[in-house]
Amino acid sequence: MWSSPQYLLVMIGVIIINYFVGIYIDKYDIIGGGQSKKLKSRILIIGIVVNVLVLFIFKYLSFTINSLSEAAQMLGFNGWTFTNIVLPVGISFYIFQSISYLVDIYRKDAPVQKSIKNLALYISMFPQLVAGPIVRYNSIAQDIERKREISFDVFILGLKIFIIGLAKKVLIANQMAVIADTMFTQDAAYLTALNAWIGALAYTFQIYFDFSGYSDMAIGLGLMIGFKFPLNFNYPYISYSITDFWRRWHISLSSWFRDYVYIPLGGNRVKISRMYLNLLIVFIITGIWHGANWTFLVWGLFHGFFLVLEKFTGLNKMEKYKPFRWIITMVIVITAWVFFRADTIHDALLYIKAMFGFNSNGEMLILSKLYLNNPAFYILMIVGIIGSTPLIKKYFIKNIDAFNPVNVSEKVLYLQNIIIIVFFAAVYIMLANNTYNPFIYFRF
pLDDT of residue 412: 77
Q: What percent of the chain has pLDDT over 70?
A: 93
pLDDT at 110 over 90: no
Secondary structure letter of residue 85 according to DSSP: P
Task: Give the whole-angstrom CA distance, residue 288 versus residue 293.
Answer: 7
Mean per-residue pLDDT over the chain, rounded: 88
Per the CB < 8 A criterion, the answer to whether 352 and 335 are in contact is yes
In terms of Cβ atoms closer than 10 Å to its own Cβ (0-12, 13-18, 19+), residue 378 is exposed
Over residues 383-405, the mean pLDDT reads: 80
Identify the pLDDT of residue 322: 86
Per-residue pLDDT at 439: 64
Distance from C-alpha of 167 to C-alpha of 161, rounded to nearest angstrom: 10
Residue 133 located in a structural domain: no
Close Cβ partners of 108 (under 8 Å, ≥ 6 residues apart): 29
Query: Contact at 8 Å (CB) between 201 and 104?
Result: no
User: What pTM does this model have?
Assistant: 0.90
User: Are residues 92 and 27 located together in one domain of the fold?
Assistant: yes
CA distance 200 to 381: 12
In this structure, the answer to whether residues 71 and 30 fall within a common structural domain is yes
Q: Mean of the pLDDT values across residues 144-170?
A: 89
Q: How many angstroms separate the CA atoms of 348 and 352, rounded?
A: 6
260 secondary structure, DSSP code: I
Same domain (yes/no): 312, 374:
yes
- Give the pLDDT of residue 159: 94
Using alpha carbons, select from 33, 18, 15, 25 the residue that is nearest to residue 105: 25
Same domain as 166, residue 32 = no
Contact 240, 321 (CB under 8 A): no
- From the CB of residue 375, how many other CB atoms can be counted at a distance below 10 Å? 7
Q: How many residues does the chain have?
A: 444
Do 213 and 299 sit in the same domain of this protein? yes
**pLDDT exceeds 70 at position 51:** yes
pLDDT in tens, 198-242: 999 999 999 999 999 999 999 999 999 988 898 899 999 999 999
Q: What is the 3 state secondary structure string of 377-416? A: HHHHHHHHHHHCCCHHHHHCCCCCCCCCCCCCCHHHHHHH
What contacts 286, CB < 8 A, 6 or more positions away? 253, 254, 257, 300, 303, 304
Is position 277 within any domain? yes
- What's the whole-number mean pLDDT along residues 75-83? 74
pLDDT at residue 14 in the model? 96
**Between residues 86 and 60, which one has the greater pLDDT?**
60
Read off the pLDDT band of 37 (50, 70, 90): confident
Q: What is the DSSP string of 221-234?
A: HHHHTT--PPP--S
Please tell me the predicted confidence (pLDDT) of residue 364: 62
Q: In which band, very low, low, confident or very high, does the pLDDT at 370 lie, cut at 50, 70 and 90?
A: confident
Q: Within this chain, do residues 265 and 398 fall inside the same structural domain, yes or no?
A: yes
Residue 202, domain member (yes or no): yes
Q: How many helices (H) and strands (E) does the chain have?
A: 19, 0
Asked which of 130-139, 284-293, 362-371 is least confident by mean pLDDT, the reply is: 362-371
Average pLDDT, stretch 278-294?
A: 93
Asked if residue 112 and residue 177 are part of one domain, the reply reads: no
* Contact in structure between 94 and 124 (CB atoms under 8 Å): yes
**Is 294 buried (19+), middle (13-18) or exposed (0-12) by CB count in 10 A?**
middle
Least confident of 166-180, 304-318, 339-353, 430-444: 430-444
Nearest to 86 by CA among 65, 61, 64: 61
Whether residue 142 is contained in a domain is answered as no
135 within a domain of the structure (yes/no): no
DSSP secondary structure letter of residue 171: I
| b/e map 9-33, b = 16+ CB within 10 Å | ebbeebbebbbebbbbbbebbeeee
Q: Does residue 131 belong to any structural domain of this protein?
A: no
pLDDT value of residue 281: 95
From 245, 210, 241, 152, select the one nearest 384 (Cα to Cα): 210
Among residues 72, 107, 124, the one where a domain terminates is 124
Could you give the C-alpha distances from 253 to 26, 38, 170, 335, 424, in angstroms and in order?
26, 29, 24, 21, 29
Per-residue pLDDT at 33: 62
118 and 157 inside one domain: no
Cβ neighbourhood burial of 251 (10 Å; 0-12, 13-18, 19+): buried
Q: Are residues 44 and 100 in the same domain?
A: yes
Q: Give me Rg for the CA atoms of the chain.
A: 23
Same domain as 266, residue 169: yes
Q: Are the CB atoms for 137 and 230 separated by under 8 Å?
A: no
List the end-to-end C-alpha distance of the chain, in Å, as a whole number: 18
Determine the 3-state secondary structure of 373 from DSSP. Answer: coil
When mean pLDDT is compared across 26-30, 162-166, 341-345, the lowest value belongs to 26-30
Catalytic residue among 250, 290, 303, 346: 290
**Three-state SS string across 54-74, please?**
HHHHHHCHHHHHHHHHHHHHH
Residues 178 and 245 both lie in one domain: yes
Residue 132 confidence (pLDDT): 77
Is there a catalytic annotation at residue 290? yes
Q: Return d(Cα 438, Cα 175) in angstroms, integer.
A: 10
Q: What is the mean pLDDT of residues 26-37?
A: 74
**Domains contained in the chain, number:** 2
pLDDT-derived band at 361 (thresholds 50, 70, 90) equals: low
Chain segment 417-444, per-residue pLDDT in tens: 888 999 999 999 988 887 666 666 655 5
Asked if residue 366 has pLDDT above 70, the reply is no
With 80 as the cut, is the pLDDT of residue 32 above it? no
Identify whether 223 is part of a domain. yes
pLDDT of 386 above 60: yes
pLDDT (tens digit, 9 = 90+) per residue, 231-277? 899 999 999 999 999 999 999 999 999 999 999 999 888 999 999 99
Domain that holds residue 71: 5-124
Percent of the chain predicted with pLDDT > 90: 55
**137: in domain:** no
**Domain identity same for 437 and 378:** yes
pLDDT bin (cut points 50, 70, 90) of residue 141 is confident
Supply the pLDDT for residue 436.
65
Would you state the pLDDT for residue 285? Answer: 95
* Per-residue pLDDT at 19 exceeds 70: yes
